[in-house]
Each structure stands twice: as C-alpha cells, then as structure tokens.
Chain A
Amino acid sequence: MTKGSKARDNFVVFPLGKKRFALSAEYVSELSRQREHGEEEQQTFPHTTRLLTGVVLRRNQIVPVADIASALIGPEVPERKFYLIVNLSVRGKVNRAAVPVTGECELAEAERLPVSGKLPPYVSGLLSLNDEIVEVLDLERLMSAEVRA
C-alpha cells in the first residue's frame, strides 16, 4: 500500500429484498447450494434463540441456520436457494453458521467507510459501490443479545 492510499478489503455482497448487504470475506468460508427436488434440508428442533431457524448438515457437521433476513428487511423475505457458510466468534470460540441468501453474491474489493448517521448497531461500516451504499454487517452483533428487541 502506498502512502496516502486507503486500505481495501474483500467483501461478499448479497441481495436481500431491494437492498444489498455485505459481510467481510474473511468470515465467509463457502457459498453452498441448498438441496433441490423439494427435499427439506433444514432440520428443526425446539429452541429459543432469536434468528436461528434450524440446522443443516455440512460435511457431517451440524451447522445452525441464521436467518437474518427478517431482522434486516422485515417479513417479506424472498426465496433463497444458497447458504453463505460463515465463521462466527461465539463466546471466544469460532463457530460456523449458515446464512440463507438468494445466491446472487458478488465478491467486491472496497474501502470500508465509517458508519455515518443513525444506523443500527450491527452495521459496522459502509461500502460505496458504483452508485450504491452497502451496509457491512457485524453478524455477531446482529445475533447478540444487545440488539435484541
């Protein structure tokens, strides 16, 4: 990086409804397609954790599904056929979670701009991509107790 140049990071940008959101690429380990042919891949069991809707199996590991769409865009959630498998730090340990997305994901290199104005606490930065401002999500914060309604 030359003197005066801004640090640019990689982000995975994904659409949810009419907006796009970004996650730091360092937290994303894979984008995987959900099973097709009507198979119900996500499995559920009773629990009380907000945003978690069930679990999926990935490489014989049980991965919780964090459906963040309702928290970000409300109840009108589009059909999603992919999972972004992300690494979350929970109580000091790294855990994987599957975030349902539509699949139209894009890897973008951009400068993370500081948050301006009144934005939710789970927005950790902003990206200026062409004519669009994209919110960078702090997934751990989004799922943490502090921002629970």
Chain B
Amino acid sequence: MNRPASVATLVLLALIGASATYVLQRSSAPQIANEQRLLDSRQLLDVMPAALYDNQPLEQPLTLAEPVLRYSTLSGGYRATRSGQTVAVLLRSRSEGYAGTLELLIAIDANGKLLGVKTLEQRETPGLGGHIGEWPNAWLQAFIGKSRTEPTDADWALKKDQGQFDQIAGATITSRAAINAIHDALRYFDEHRALLLGTDP
C-alpha cells in the first residue's frame, strides 16, 4: 500500500468518525437532557410516595415570603398536586450543621403532617453526622407523621434537651440542626398555609 493512499484513508476515517459522533451527539442531546431531568427529579421526589401526586412538582416552584426562619433559611419550595388539588408542599431548607451547610428537602402534606425528609447536601463528619446523608434513612424516617403541634414545642428536641427524639450517635449538633430545621419548616407551613397550598384568593 502506498503512502498517499494510506494518508487519504486515515483522513477519510477521521472525517467519518468526527461527523458520526457529531451527528449522534446533536440528535440525542434533547433526550439526554430530558433523561437527566427525569433522574434528578426522581432523586429529589423519592422523599414522598410517587402515588401521591400526578404533576411535576419541580416545574411548580413556589415563591416564599420571609424565608429566613429562626434556625434555618428556606431556599425554595415546590407544590405537589393531584387532580389539581394540592396534596403536599416541598420545602428546601438550609441550616448550619456541625461542619458546614446542611440542606434538607422537607415534604409536608396538606394537613401539616410531615411526609418525609431527605438530605440533599451535607458536610458532616463521615461515620458520625455523615449518616444523615444516607438514603433511605431510619433516623429521618422517625419524623414521618409528626406535625408542628404533635408533639408539642418542648418535645421537638433531642432527648438530651428534654425532647422526645433520639439523636444520631455521636452527632448531637447535626441532629439538633436537623430537628430545628424540620420544626422550622413545619412552623413556616402552619403560618403560611393558605399561600403555600394555593387556597389564598
């Protein structure tokens, strides 16, 4: 085989390769973006049972009034509906943990009861407070069904602080931050109920 023909074959090969990759990339970019969005929303929304709602909550963001709370800050909210009726509100809450920001996604149903809590971001000590980042999470599941008034304000604390909740072993500050953030979110829901549920005229 002579040299020019060999070089020509190589150039042709490179052209075919580059264009094939380009065409495939262009044609599948929308699908990939769509898949990514689906995956992201599934990861966020497994905080509550999928049978509960029939809309795309992440596409219905809420504007939150006065998002700075006592122990935490709400950075966003979403509304989950079923046949047009609001069934749950999701609140993104940021608070200070032991080693950095602790970001929780808190799902509250229309009656003000907690549906689930999921950790979105944490920098706690691996092996101790870091357990809060695991999913499914037995410790966070203990809060399901609780509301602002049930238990009472004094009981919304760790057993160490004369409350009724266990703490994550060896991570008092992390546990305290999480409990306060959850209680804050429930209180916020109670105070802004009509606005969050969309029943405001």
A binds B: no
Which residues of A are in contact with B by a Cβ distance under 8 Å? none
